[in-house]
Structure formats: structure tokens, C-alpha cells
Amino acid sequence: MEQEIRWTQRFNQFQKAFSLLKQAILIEQPTVTERAGLIQFFEMTFELGWKLLKDYLIEEGFDVNSPRSAIKQAFQSRLIDNGHDWMLALEDRNLTTHTYNEQTAVEVEQKIRQHYYPLLVDLEKFFKERS
């Protein structure tokens, strides 16, 4: 049996987390608990997303070892289109994982819906075409 390439394994994990985020995005007026779930699903999906980029880039011969370097190289390699929003998503992911504030949660929820979720949709499409 042929050994599966690391990025394809990561893509499978990404798709599982992304399916949960897709379900949470459908809730138009989330409760506090649902909003917290949406943010957590975003955090998981984003984490797997940058690691997916890292694994793919390593397979392509690049040396990447952090979220920032993976995002920068993915943008330079044209794997992703909007490097700026990816960096903003990274900052917000870091913010939400270390503290909980309801006002921040509401603001991050809107950013996820308007800016970050579309990035992840594009990422899934990119890797679906390659798997």
C-alpha cells in the first residue's frame, strides 16, 4: 500500500474541521454558546489550514516552520490569493485562543463570516483540485 503524502492526510483533517465550521456559519443569529463554537471551529480549521499549507510547501521543497512563514510562502507561491487577510486571521486566531471577551467574540465572528471563511473556502477548493 502506497504511503499517503502528509499534506493529503492534513487535508482530510482540514475537511473534517471545515465541515463543522460550515455548519456553524449557517446559524445566522448565534447564541453566546453557538458563537463560541463557531470561533472554536474557525480556530481548529485555521490551524489545520496553515499546517496544510506548510505540509504542501515542504513537499514542494520549501523550508517553512511557522504560521507566518507558511502564509508568506503560500502567497508568494500563489497557493493563496489574499496574504493580508490570512495574516489578519492569524492575529485574530491568536487573540481568541488566549482570552474570551464577548465584544471581541462578536467582532471576530463578523470577520470570520465576511473575510476568513471565504479564505478557507478557497483553500478547500485549491486542495480538492489537487487531491
Q: Grid coordinates 471577551 are at which residue?
A: 101
Classify the C-alpha dihedral 112-91-70-42 as positive or negative: negative
User: With 0-12 CB in 10 A as exposed, 13-18 as middle and 19+ as buried, what is 39?
Assistant: buried
Note the pLDDT tens digit of each residue in 72-88: 999 999 999 999 999 99
Tell me the CATH class for 14-22+32-128.
mainly alpha
Indicate the domain borders of the chain: 14-22+32-128
Instruction: Give CA–CA dist 58/81, Å, rounded.
Output: 19
Note the pLDDT tens digit of each residue in 90-113: 998 887 766 678 888 899 999 999
Instruction: Give CA–CA dist 25/79, Å, rounded.
Output: 24
Note the pLDDT tens digit of each residue in 7-55: 999 999 999 999 999 999 999 999 999 999 999 999 999 999 999 999 9
**Residues 6 or more apart from 20 whose CB is under 8 A from it?**
41, 44, 45
